[in-house]
Amino acid sequence: MKLFITGIGTEIGKTVCSAILVQYFKTDYWKPVQSGDLHYTDSKKIEDWTNNTVCHPETYRLQLAASPHQSARAENKAITLDEFQLPETQNSLIVEGAGGLMVPLSDHSFMIDLIEKLQIPTALVVRNYLGCINHTLLSVMALQQRKIKLEYLILNGEFPEDTERVICSFIGSDTKIIRIPEITPDKENITATAKQLTITKL
């Protein structure tokens, strides 16, 4: 299994959700682009929160905590899609993107272009806030337009019934639903949540 974890925006819990899925499926982990937080990267968090996970090196490690294209420019670098290659592993693999689908890697390429290049299905992380329905449906439409399979819709945290109903009614019947409760991320909570994880279909 190979799966690309994306989201409807930033700061919605992609890394926590990635950790839970890494623990649940017993996968390797790869973060293609790390922008900022090099003192405590997402790969390091996965290592701390899960058990004996192999974390493959990032293709780009950038100092500035900003959009990858801006972070790269600040270091006089250019991110190119050709540089990205899936890590070689006999194990399953979770790949975590940066931000949402239209986060720019350069002036001409976006996160969705990287997903398309890697040719693996996606899991879309959704968090409840005013505007999340709009951001979710636009993200689903973008994946549909590129014919990228939406393997899982991840509902991260609590959702009003009306919000969840509209979101779930928009996705295809072959997309599975994962519900993840609010947790404080640490190894104990990640492990416990992974053990109780349920995957359902509409």
Measure the CA–CA gap between 106 and 126, rounded to whole angstroms: 25
Helix, strand, or coil (residue 91):
coil
Of 31, 44, 77, 147, the catalytic one is 31
Q: What HEC string does 18-74 produce?
A: HHHHHHHHCCEEECCEEECCCCCCHHHHHHHHCCCCCEECCCEEECCCCCHHHHHHH
CB 36 within 8 A of CB 66: yes
Tell me if residue 172 falls in helix, strand or coil.
coil
Q: Which residues of 154-190 are buried (b: 16+ CB within 10 A; e: fewer)?
A: bbbeebeeebbeebeeebeeebbbbbbeebebeeebb
DSSP letter assigned to residue 110? B
31 is catalytic: yes
Determine contact, residues 93/1, Cβ cutoff 8 Å: yes
CB-side neighbour CA atoms (13 Å) of 93: 19
Which residues are catalytic, by number? 31
